[in-house]
Amino acid sequence: MKTVIIVQARMTSTRLPGKILYEVLNRPLLEYQIERLGQVRQADDIVIATTANDSDLPVVQLCERLKINCFRGPEEDVLARYYFAAQESKADNIVRITSDCPLIDPEVMDEVISLYLSNFKRYDYVSNTLKRTYPRGLDTEVFSWSALEKAYKEAKERPEREHVTLYMYRHPERFCLANSGSAEDYSQHRWTVDTKEDFELIELILQELYPVNSRFTWLDVLNLLNEHPEWAEINAAVHQKEV
């Protein structure tokens, strides 16, 4: 079976346009993420799924420079974008990642993927987000091609087309779901980039950790924030957008 990481990426974020190409240490955030995704052992390929809009040409150019597969599809119907990207890449299993998570952890991803692969005859969908225990920004979802195809054909409501897996976990009677979590609850941490405050925190973390160890883990980030507890206050007031 072929397992493909598909990253949804676009430049037209409503709260922080162009955020995925904001630079830290002269490198765009998306490049950090792609580097970390390349360390995932349980995946066979990476595809950046962007839109056909001219505004996303810089994303395509970054993929060309990094020699990463890029697929261009609909902007609003992200479910269709995933469906056709997975179809083109001949994926049996899809790992969904969003491009606003530059600190994504390869080991956490491998845990989620391994849970799915060892139970692929039982589960249609496995994630670490059904019950959050990891910091936001380590979100990983894995699902089968057949589950994606079913969602693509059946989902009708606009939010279910904009949010790729919403139809799956809204319909547990149609899909067998499972969650992968950490032993302790760290869900109060926010390591995703959706606002200026989010970026300020991520910038501090990358500036501190990356030059010393480019393969730092999420536990290294936790230890750093324990040393600088005031950093967590930078984006503490930011709330995730509702679906």
- Determine the pLDDT at residue 242: 76
- Determine the pLDDT at residue 106: 98
Q: Please, which pLDDT band fits residue 241 given cuts at 50, 70 and 90?
A: confident
- Sole residue written with tokens 């279910």: 160
Tell me if the domain spanning 3-233 has CATH number 1.10.287.610. no
CA distance 106 to 119: 20
> What confidence tens digit (pLDDT) does each residue in 78-106 have?
999 999 999 999 999 999 999 999 999 99
Percent composition of the chain: helix, strand, coil (DSSP 3-state, to 5): 40, 15, 45
Q: With contact defined as beta carbons under 8 Å apart, do 49 and 7 qualify? A: yes
pLDDT of residue 124 exceeding 80: yes
> What confidence tens digit (pLDDT) does each residue in 161-200 have?
999 999 999 999 999 999 999 999 999 999 999 999 999 9
**The one-letter amino acid at 202:** I
User: What are the structural domain ranges in the chain?
Assistant: 3-233
